[in-house]
Structure 1
Amino acid sequence: MKVPFAFPFPFSRKATFHFSLLRLSWVPPCPPFQLGFITGRARHCIEFHKLRGAMVSPPAFAAAVAVVAVLLCASAAANPAGGPHMADLSVLLPPRMTKPVEYRLIGGDGCFSWSWDHHDLISVKPEYNDSSRCSTSARLASIAPYSGRRETSVYATDIISGITIHCKVFVDKISRISIFHHAVKIDLDEIATLRIHAFDDEENVFSTLVGLQFLWHLTPRLVDNSSHHLIRIPLKETHLSDCGGFCGDMNIRFELEDKNLGSDFSVVKGIEIGQEVVKAQLFEPQFEHVIDTITLTVAESMSLEPSSPVLVTVGVLVKFKLKVFRQKVAQGFTKVVVEDTRVSGHEQVSSLHVVIPRTLFLYLVPIMDDSAHLHGITNIPSSKVWYVYPGRKYMVLAKAFAEGFDAREIYITEILQMSFDM
């Protein structure tokens, strides 16, 4: 960045110089009448009288400025990361709740010792690197009940350079919550992660809600429909548990779920087409009125082939195919309509579903003679012992069924190949 640099002592002309540097901070440890600054992790001091003497000698003054510039550039090259810094300039936490709400404050390019104002308001627990015993992060938690909006600061001092950086911490009550999802429609059999965000009276977003207790409710949107369109999936049974043993905040959410309580995360799955009302309530004393609801629509995942846009010439007939996806497997549905053009409104309609077979049953059917009809002959299922007799003919009948069609048999055509091993 460009930093204006002006010397406050007498000079025939006002001189302002610009240096390209990563950081410039003034420090008092230099001896009297010396100018001190830190770049990276190096401290530099320049005597004022040498600079003052340079005022009457422009070449000498230019040389002094060049020395400063060289020192700055050399230090910047040695520390290209920019020195100690903190990921957050400010943090907003709720007051003390049933379970402490913690936030992980992360620093970088340093090894820090931590301090803070108002020990009655927040607690700070440093986290250490196991290999170097160096702290680059700390866990913040509010420990005081709500008594109006309050403010404090957390300081991180790099033990190598002595540079201190700080983060503002605000503690305020939760005014409202909102359930966030990337869309209000999810596909059938799709899993969606819902997350709660909280706001104060000024619509500032709280930095974390980890540890807060929430109640989640699912209700069909239509009053006369008692069938749910969504179900909740335990967090441990979702991708959120795939954290390789380093789950961090997720462990706190797992613990709440083990106690039959909800957290700020909820995972739902679409199981039936329709609309479901999702309600979340902050389950904390004096905050039971903080509620939010959203309506999610569960619909089929469909696509058309050929895909849009389709370019055709005049007079061309295009046949479209509708694809429906269940569990990432393409399925299809269409209607066959036969209309008698001689009489208006006289038609026959048949629906055609392309499904995936789930179960297959075998039956033994005895044949009396070549001309005997199968009607009325008892089919012996494979669940019973089959007895066959020499000289008699039998037929093995296969029936396939799909899930979700009330045990309706799949129509097996002649081109469908099946193999049997005897």
Structure 2
Amino acid sequence: MGWFQYLVLFVLFHLSLAAIRMSQPKILLPFHPRIETNFTLEATDGCFTWSSSRPDLVRIDPIGEFSIKNGENCSLHANIIAHTKQSLRSSATIYARDILTGQSVRCDVIIDKIQTIEIIYTTTRLYLEDAPELFKLRAHDQHGSTFSSIEHFPFEWKLLNAAIVNEQNVKKSASGTLDATKVIRILRLTDSSYEMSETVRNLESHGSLSYEILLEGLRTGSAFVQAEFIDNDLYHGIRTKPVRLSVSANVQFYPSTDVYLLPYSRLAFRLYQIKRQESTDITDLPSTRILYEVKLINNDAGYLDDKTLIFTATDHADEQSRLELIDRNMKAIDNETYEPTSLMIRIVNIGYLSAITNSTRPWIFQIGSYYLITVEMFDVNGRKIYPTDNLDLSASIPNDLHKTCLNLKSLYKNGTQYILRPNCQGRFEIEFHLNGMKNNNVLELLTIASTKQWFEVYLPLAVQPKRVLLPEKTIVKEVKTPYCPIKVLGGSGDYIFTSRDTSV
């Protein structure tokens, strides 16, 4: 073997050493005299034998597929099980040795008592007739460090009436719990499509609740959720702080995000109720005005017609206002913490126009096909401007000779979308112009903005002949292999040929 081969093997060997690692360098497991807690470790890029520096504290159970190399069993994964009987803080080290290279990686395991638990959530606002939200528990030791796993412990989850709960104390009340269960329902993960570990599934199959649950809104209102250990000795009395939850109908503005408008814009906001990912326009229902209030916080950016919900922008830029959607029921139930749905309205000047198309290749068209062209507006900072109905955009074909070759039709009165059908082959141009804003048949002039867009039109691709029949390839050397020339028409002239079956 030459020096180059030795060099390659040397580099590959050291690269394999550098790639070996442990999934977690350190884990914190909770102590319990009767419940064994475990955590799955993974060592990558190798096959490993596992050992513990303190088998009396931490036991190892290798899992996964085993391979026999050099006469040893090895695996990529192992369950690390804390089974110490002493409540004092203790630690051990887990080693994973790659049987091929002999390199070892380690993980430090700390075992300690749980001091506090807290509820982890994405949102505290639940919506009626919506998918349930996932709530989890997280545990900490006396130093505030987070435990790696508490999924083996059963917990009691409670729903408490918001009227009898404050931040300092949670008073026990059967009537309070009963009221709360009319507002929110606790669901097990096994009653849903959520993924869960076998440990959680096993706990729920025996009638217990784990460290994670689902909460579903039943009716408009407010309630608290709280969890505590089901433990009569070691962790007795350890519970979370109550978390306030609100349940309401999912009613949103349309448009639902912050909007950037040109001066003189007129935008009609709508209210949509969302149920199971289906939306219904409820703006004009009589009950909507009773249940909800739409309020413009200030008139800097323009003014709002309370009856029609039409917002009219001011005549100059650099102004903003906040629009709020207030649920009257939720505000009455929880006036102190209720936060209405809101969005910002910002008035900006036009920066530039841009056109986009739905063609497979941008601005490459073929004769006879139909294409959608959309004109978009942006301010000088690249923020997209909302196209209101009173916008006045136009498109033109500057070359008179090209007008017979291009069939261009506007889809909307504001000129934001067009259907194009090219009839000739060649290179063409379309110009788009911002003319202003129309209000009561009066055109309000804005800063001039326009853009030009060039595109190419080709004949549709065609292959001649469409079907080829060739005799089977002969084994006689004197006879040439049969072939058929293929002619391609249309397109740009740059072709890439491929075969679905090269053996044929």
What does residue 272 of structure 1 align with?
219
Instruction: After TM superposition, give the deviation of residue 149 of structure 1 in Å.
Output: 0.9
Instruction: After TM superposition, give the deviation of residue 254 of structure 1 in Å.
Output: 1.4
User: Which of 123, 126, 132 does residue 186 from structure 1 map onto?
Assistant: 126
What does residue 375 of structure 1 align with?
none
Unaligned stretches of 5+ residues in structure 2: 165-174, 290-504
In 1, distance between residues paired with 2:216 and 2:147?
27
Q: How many residues align?
A: 265
Instruction: After TM superposition, give the deviation of residue 166 of structure 1 in Å.
Output: 1.4
In 2, distance between residues paired with 1:99 and 1:295?
31
Task: Provide Cα deviations, 1:90-115, integer angstroms capped at 9, x if missing partner.
Answer: 11111135432110011111111111
3-state SS of 1:291 partner: coil
In 2, distance between residues paired with 1:177 and 1:140?
22
User: Which of 224, 230, 236 does residue 288 from structure 1 map onto?
Assistant: 236
Contact residue 22 and residue 105 of structure 2 kept, 8 A: yes
If the length of structure 2 is used for normalisation, what is the TM-score?
Answer: 0.48
What does residue 26 of structure 1 align with?
none
In 2, distance between residues paired with 1:268 and 1:113?
43
User: Which of 28, 32, 44 does residue 92 from structure 1 map onto?
Assistant: 28
The code of the aligned residue for 1:230 comes to I
In 2, distance between residues paired with 1:304 and 1:209?
41
User: Which of 259, 274, 277 does residue 309 from structure 1 map onto?
Assistant: 259
In 1, distance between residues paired with 2:11 and 2:148?
33
Identity percentage of aligned residues: 22
Shift in alpha-carbon separation, 1:83–1:280, aligned structure 2, 3 A: same
Unaligned stretches of 5+ residues in structure 1: 1-66, 242-246, 337-349, 354-422
Matches within 5 A, 1:1-400: 75-77=10-12, 80=15, 82-129=18-65, 134-188=74-128, 189-223=130-164, 226=179, 228-241=182-195, 250-284=197-231, 285-292=233-240, 293-307=242-256, 308-309=258-259, 311=261, 313-314=263-264, 318-334=267-283, 350-351=286-287
Instruction: After TM superposition, give the deviation of residue 331 of structure 1 in Å.
Output: 2.5
Shift in alpha-carbon separation, 1:238–1:155, aligned structure 2, 3 A: same
If the length of structure 1 is used for normalisation, what is the TM-score?
Answer: 0.57
In 2, distance between residues paired with 1:72 and 1:199?
50
Shift in alpha-carbon separation, 1:168–1:328, aligned structure 2, 3 A: same
The code of the aligned residue for 1:103 comes to F
Instruction: After TM superposition, give the deviation of residue 215 of structure 1 in Å.
Output: 0.7
The code of the aligned residue for 1:125 comes to D
What does residue 397 of structure 1 align with?
none
Instruction: After TM superposition, give the deviation of residue 313 of structure 1 in Å.
Output: 4.2
In 1, distance between residues paired with 2:161 and 2:38?
35
3-state SS of 1:222 partner: helix
Contact residue 146 and residue 173 of structure 1 kept, 8 A: no
Shift in alpha-carbon separation, 1:130–1:158, aligned structure 2, 3 A: closer
Instruction: After TM superposition, give the deviation of residue 303 of structure 1 in Å.
Output: 1.8
Task: Provide Cα deviations, 1:223-243, integer angstroms capped at 9, x if missing partner.
Answer: 5872522111221122224xx
Which has the higher Rg, Structure 1 or Structure 2? 1
Instruction: After TM superposition, give the deviation of residue 257 of structure 1 in Å.
Output: 1.2
3-state SS of 1:183 partner: coil
In 2, distance between residues paired with 1:311 and 1:101?
57
The code of the aligned residue for 1:170 comes to I
